[in-house]
Amino acid sequence: MKKKAMLSTLAVLVLLLLVTAALSGCGRKDDAVREIGPAVVWHTASMAYEADGTMAPEYHVRFTDAEIVYGHLKDGTFAADYADRLVKLEKTAAGGYLIQAEASNGQRYSYQTCESDPSVLEYYESWDTRDFPETYRGGASLTLEQAELQGEQYEQK
């Protein structure tokens, strides 16, 4: 029950952010980055075992104006593992986001806000939206983790 209430509160927070952005005429890449990062933390749907045997998201993710940074949380501090180049981040007519990135190996991929849940960014192994039905990868999709990190701590590896 507590988890459900937290998720509802998180969804309301995301919706408020989207409404505020829409009312302010937001649409530029730097404005969108302010809404979804870098203080905002996302995490992958895929889970992995920690050293202590507990399960945790495989990666925590932050967006900057130039990169999508993948890492992990260490005592409330975001520690970067690697980053991919952020090519495009635009607000869609529906109020969500379309994000395009390129990995260091040249792999191009996209995130797009889930129509039914604005706290989810769905992952696609393509930049072409026509290919999205065939290139969706649920485990690589992102879910909103928390509104802000403790302070503005950021540890670069």
**Cβ atoms within 10 Å, residue 59:** 18
Give residue-wise pLDDT tens across range 67-114.
999 998 887 788 899 999 999 999 888 889 999 999 999 999 999 999
- Quote the pLDDT of residue 130: 94
Question: What is the percent of the chain where pLDDT is above 70?
Answer: 68
- Contact (CB, 8 A) for 82 and 99: no
Q: How far apart are CA 83 and CA 132, in angstroms?
A: 23
- Quote the pLDDT of residue 6: 44
- Quote the pLDDT of residue 107: 96
Q: How far apart are CA 11 and CA 38, in angstroms?
A: 18
Confidence of residue 145 (pLDDT cuts 50, 70, 90): confident
Query: DSSP code of 133?
Result: H
Residue 40's Cβ-side half-sphere holds a number of Cα atoms within 13 Å equal to 19
Whether the predicted model's global pTM rises above the 0.85 cut:
no
- Mean pLDDT value across the chain: 76
The domains of the chain, with CATH numbers, are 2-156 (2.40.128)
Confidence of residue 13 (pLDDT cuts 50, 70, 90): very low
